[in-house]
Amino acid sequence: MSTSATVIAGCALVTAAIKAAGPVALGGRELPTWFTSVVILLSPALLAALVATQAFAEGDRLGLEADTAGVAVGGLVIWRSGSIVACVVAAAAVTAALRAL
């Protein structure tokens, strides 16, 4: 099976299982506090790691590239304007402009 087919099948199965487990296995019952507490903090941990590795890493090297500046500007835009669309467009535009220099 190709990588993309494996990833699609794997993601479809785990997503369906997670979404089905909530209403069926746990319907009405409260999840343990420690579990909810960890799950709530998974998003900031994963998102921060994704931003950092994509902005600063090229393969196994760390460095400042055009996309680092693009992401920084995109971050400023969403922080000031709250618009995810403006943020994404600014990040791509800055990165493209720096690469064209």
64 binds other proteins (CB under 8 A): no
CB of residue 59 vs other proteins: minimum separation in angstroms? Answer: 6
CB of residue 49 vs other proteins: minimum separation in angstroms? Answer: 3
Tokens 């943020």 locate to: 87
User: What are the structure tokens assigned to 18, written together?
Assistant: 């997670």
Q: Side chain identity at 47, as an amino acid letter?
A: L
Q: Cα separation of 89 and 71, whole Å? A: 10
Of residues 7-26, which lie at the interface with other proteins (CB under 8 A)? 7-8, 10-12, 14-16, 18-24, 26
3-state secondary structure of 15: helix
Number of shown-chain residues binding other proteins (CB under 8 A): 76
Q: Side chain identity at 41, as an amino acid letter?
A: L
Partners of 58 in the β-ladder:
61
Of residues 68-97, which lie at the interface with other proteins (CB under 8 A)? 70-71, 74-75, 78-79, 84-85, 87-88, 90-97
